[in-house]
Chains A and B, each alone.
Chain A
């Protein structure tokens, strides 16, 4: 877009980049915030159905589809409360830290080939690192609230999230190693083709490590059964006990944003990203080379694919939440340090050996490395230029 503004419209370079950044930011912010509202509504309906209830039925006419918006209006209209003993500045700051951390990570998350706020050659690293910042908001909230329950919640969150970053990092490294790149776009592109090309089914080690990733992801975004920072039956409401109104809703949005983010990350790292289980576009003869409109259409399809997979992940998290009891803090730490971390480490080593010993898979004739298939396709009828291709696969910023 920046190039377009510079070359065709004649904007100066700084203006072009600023406009591009603003557009991308507004798009991401609104899509994710809107998405969070949809997920909040979905959670209400799903929880209700799981519990033999109906959930919201009236707001917005049918299915209560405007319920989240109505809630939002209520939260905005609420009185701005702050406990007397609270540390005012930190108390006000905390929700925004959480919110920004959760939403900033979306900058590097690709929704389809080139549908990305800012393509980074260290995309994976960026997403995991920025998502980890969310814990600061929670600790600030717990510390600044001047409430003992909040403090307990914050301390739990600090212990839990920092611990789970370790196995989570190890899980994330495996697809990075397989793809040979930290660029999320490249990682997803390498899994193009049939479902067997997904890293999930790459070898037994990646299959196991996917489940470790799921566990750690749920824990690192504080969802049940790892929602110890909130733990409403023990800590009243944990770190956001003293929050109400719009500030509270920022925490809420951050939680749903993070949920969606880790699900989308799982889709990109293990489930082919925007590449569907069946390469439909490819089979009907559409490719990046068939023209701009077709190209755009293929990417939209890919985006739907990714959103579908990510939504599936979010739905599974909701399902788990409304089914399982909560673990205790020592059990959460045991799960992380005694099970997740060693398993992740072993699987990482296994995947590494696999890559070293059997680079072509068990039966090279049957399953060629995913990247190779992609190469073959790009050389198909009307393929893109060799330069563009190599840059796309190698993950170099265009």
Chain B
């Protein structure tokens, strides 16, 4: 067992035991899809975690080089399948950036409305599944109950419940059906008080705090070093949100919208709404903060949806038709990062002037966020591994593409 002592990363105890390699996944209840984690364990203590990915690889980027830009939209659905609307939006905006195309004002507000609803739906899964990782089942179903209502709204708008292809290059495939806005507002009014329930069952629950506070602490520098983004980055106290700090074509979408980035500044979170206090044990950058940022973003997105409903209904005139299926893309290249629920989702395309992009590449936030897991899991307990990986809120469809 000399190798145990040779490896400085391994925590030593007075009782020396043999270490064990354990495969967590690819079929495991809490690896969020087909992630495989190889754990090197010494009893209950995990000395090393190594993520293995690729079980869901579908060559989506290569397929993108054989289809026109609009034809590839359904493939973006299947990346982050929990927030397909935001994936559609990312690709559509990247293509529009290259084409220097601007959608109508009405389409812009509708895109905000749909994207923010998608963000709520994605965070609900992230929150509920996180409860599941920590061994409580009920909040998962409470979250899915509300998510179902958002999916109902999406279904009415575009006919699909998971893979929407609603936001597309040059606009949206269809306008909203009559009465949709009223139903959406009714949902928001009904949903708002339920967030308190989530806080009671998870955020402020004593056991939940014990399991998440001061676990998997990621420093500001570490988060930046690994290229983390989204709630994972903001949970470490880095004030960055592409909706505010991104490129002009993306931030222009949110022009005139009032929102505060959910990040801890000067020792407190934005005070635009009433939130439960931060527990004393929580350290900035731990699992609790990453989770809490998501909860704040749900409320923030609800505000944005309300604002966009007002703006959208104020817009007169038609929504505008999306571009043709085989619209030619001018030669050149473009890269655009958007703020998807899981983090910054980047799309890159190179065009040779034809309708089919010459090169397509996606930069996934979950990929970078997962990469930091080995750092966070070093020396934790087995039970902390699902807690840490769950707090990163990854989606394998987006990592493997």
Chain A residues engaging chain B, CB cutoff 8 angstroms? 47, 50-53, 148-149, 152, 155-156, 224-225, 227-228, 231-236, 322-331
B207 at the interface (CB under 8 A from A): yes
* Contacts A148-B20, A325-B205, A328-B211 given; does A52 touch B382 at CB 8 Å: no
Chain B residues engaging chain A, CB cutoff 8 angstroms? 20, 22, 28-30, 43-44, 131-138, 141-142, 145, 201-202, 205, 207-208, 210-211, 381-386
B205 near A232: Cβ-Cβ < 8 Å: no
- Bound Cα distance from A51 to B211, whole angstroms: 22
B135 near A329: Cβ-Cβ < 8 Å: no
Q: In the complex, what's the smallest C-beta–C-beta distance from A194 to chain B, in angstroms?
A: 36
* Contacts A52-B142, A325-B205, A326-B135 given; does A234 touch B30 at CB 8 Å: yes
CB-contact partner of B211 in A53, A149, A236, A327, under 8 A: A327
Besides A50-B138, A331-B211, 8 more A-B contacts (Cβ < 8 Å) are A152-B44, A225-B207, A233-B133, A234-B30, A324-B207, A325-B136, A326-B207, A327-B211
- Bound Cα distance from A225 to B137, whole angstroms: 12
CB-contact partner of A325 in B30, B44, B134, B382, under 8 A: B134
- Bound Cα distance from A210 to B55, whole angstroms: 51
- Bound Cα distance from A323 to B22, whole angstroms: 30
A325 near B20: Cβ-Cβ < 8 Å: no
B22 near A233: Cβ-Cβ < 8 Å: no
Contacts of A50 in B (CB 8 A): 138
B135 near A231: Cβ-Cβ < 8 Å: yes
Contacts of A52 in B (CB 8 A): 141-142, 145
* Contacts A50-B138, A52-B141 given; does A236 touch B201 at CB 8 Å: no
A236 near B22: Cβ-Cβ < 8 Å: no
Q: In the complex, what's the smallest C-beta–C-beta distance from A235 to chain B, in angstroms?
A: 8
Contacts of A236 in B (CB 8 A): 28-29
Q: What are 15 A-B pairs with beta-carbon distances under 8 A?
A: A52-B142, A53-B141, A155-B43, A231-B135, A231-B383, A232-B29, A232-B135, A234-B30, A236-B28, A325-B134, A325-B136, A325-B205, A326-B136, A328-B211, A329-B44
Q: In the complex, what's the smallest C-beta–C-beta distance from B366 to chain A, in angstroms?
A: 19
CB-contact partner of B142 in A51, A155, A327, A329, under 8 A: A51
Q: In the complex, what's the smallest C-beta–C-beta distance from B37 to chain A, in angstroms?
A: 12
- Bound Cα distance from A50 to B140, whole angstroms: 12
Q: In the complex, what's the smallest C-beta–C-beta distance from B158 to chain A, in angstroms?
A: 27
* Contacts A52-B141, A53-B141, A148-B20 given; does A233 touch B211 at CB 8 Å: no
CB-contact partner of A51 in B133, B141, B202, under 8 A: B141
B44 near A233: Cβ-Cβ < 8 Å: no
- Bound Cα distance from A350 to B136, whole angstroms: 37
Contacts of B132 in A (CB 8 A): 233
A224 near B145: Cβ-Cβ < 8 Å: no
B208 near A328: Cβ-Cβ < 8 Å: no
A325 near B135: Cβ-Cβ < 8 Å: yes
- Bound Cα distance from A233 to B390, whole angstroms: 10
Most A Cβ at <10 Å: residue of B145, B382, B386: B382
Q: In the complex, what's the smallest C-beta–C-beta distance from A29 to chain B, in angstroms?
A: 31
- Bound Cα distance from A231 to B137, whole angstroms: 12
B136 near A324: Cβ-Cβ < 8 Å: yes
- Bound Cα distance from A156 to B208, whole angstroms: 20
Contacts of B207 in A (CB 8 A): 225, 324-327
Contacts of A232 in B (CB 8 A): 29, 135
B138 near A234: Cβ-Cβ < 8 Å: no
Contacts of A234 in B (CB 8 A): 30, 382-383, 385-386
Contacts of B210 in A (CB 8 A): 327-328, 331
Q: In the complex, what's the smallest C-beta–C-beta distance from A26 to chain B, in angstroms?
A: 37
Contacts of A155 in B (CB 8 A): 43
Q: Which 7 A-B pairs have the closest CB atoms?
A: A326-B135, A325-B134, A325-B136, A233-B30, A51-B141, A328-B383, A325-B207
- Bound Cα distance from A329 to B135, whole angstroms: 13
- Bound Cα distance from A322 to B137, whole angstroms: 6
For A148, give the chain B residue with the smallest CB separation.
B22
Q: In the complex, what's the smallest C-beta–C-beta distance from A213 to chain B, in angstroms?
A: 20
- Bound Cα distance from A305 to B164, whole angstroms: 57
For B30, give the chain A residue with the smallest CB separation.
A233
For B145, give the chain A residue with the smallest CB separation.
A52
Q: In the complex, what's the smallest C-beta–C-beta distance from B20 to chain A, in angstroms?
A: 6
B138 near A233: Cβ-Cβ < 8 Å: no
A233 near B141: Cβ-Cβ < 8 Å: no
- Bound Cα distance from A232 to B382, whole angstroms: 12
Contacts of B381 in A (CB 8 A): 328-330
For B21, give the chain A residue with the smallest CB separation.
A148
Contacts of A233 in B (CB 8 A): 29-30, 132-135, 386
A323 near B208: Cβ-Cβ < 8 Å: no
CB-contact partner of A322 in B134, B138, B145, B385, under 8 A: B138
For A224, give the chain B residue with the smallest CB separation.
B135
A51 near B205: Cβ-Cβ < 8 Å: no
For A227, give the chain B residue with the smallest CB separation.
B135
Contacts of A325 in B (CB 8 A): 131, 134-136, 202, 205, 207-208, 211
Contacts of B145 in A (CB 8 A): 52
B141 near A225: Cβ-Cβ < 8 Å: no
A324 near B383: Cβ-Cβ < 8 Å: no
Q: In the complex, what's the smallest C-beta–C-beta distance from B108 to chain A, in angstroms?
A: 37
Q: In the complex, what's the smallest C-beta–C-beta distance from A239 to chain B, in angstroms?
A: 14
CB-contact partner of B134 in A156, A227, A326, under 8 A: A326
Contacts of B44 in A (CB 8 A): 152, 156, 329-330
A152 near B137: Cβ-Cβ < 8 Å: no
B386 near A324: Cβ-Cβ < 8 Å: no
For B132, give the chain A residue with the smallest CB separation.
A233
Q: In the complex, what's the smallest C-beta–C-beta distance from A234 to chain B, in angstroms?
A: 5
B136 near A323: Cβ-Cβ < 8 Å: yes
- Bound Cα distance from A233 to B32, whole angstroms: 11
Contacts of A149 in B (CB 8 A): 22
A329 near B383: Cβ-Cβ < 8 Å: yes
A324 near B137: Cβ-Cβ < 8 Å: no
- Bound Cα distance from A82 to B381, whole angstroms: 29
Contacts of B137 in A (CB 8 A): 47, 51, 322
B29 near A152: Cβ-Cβ < 8 Å: no
Contacts of B28 in A (CB 8 A): 236
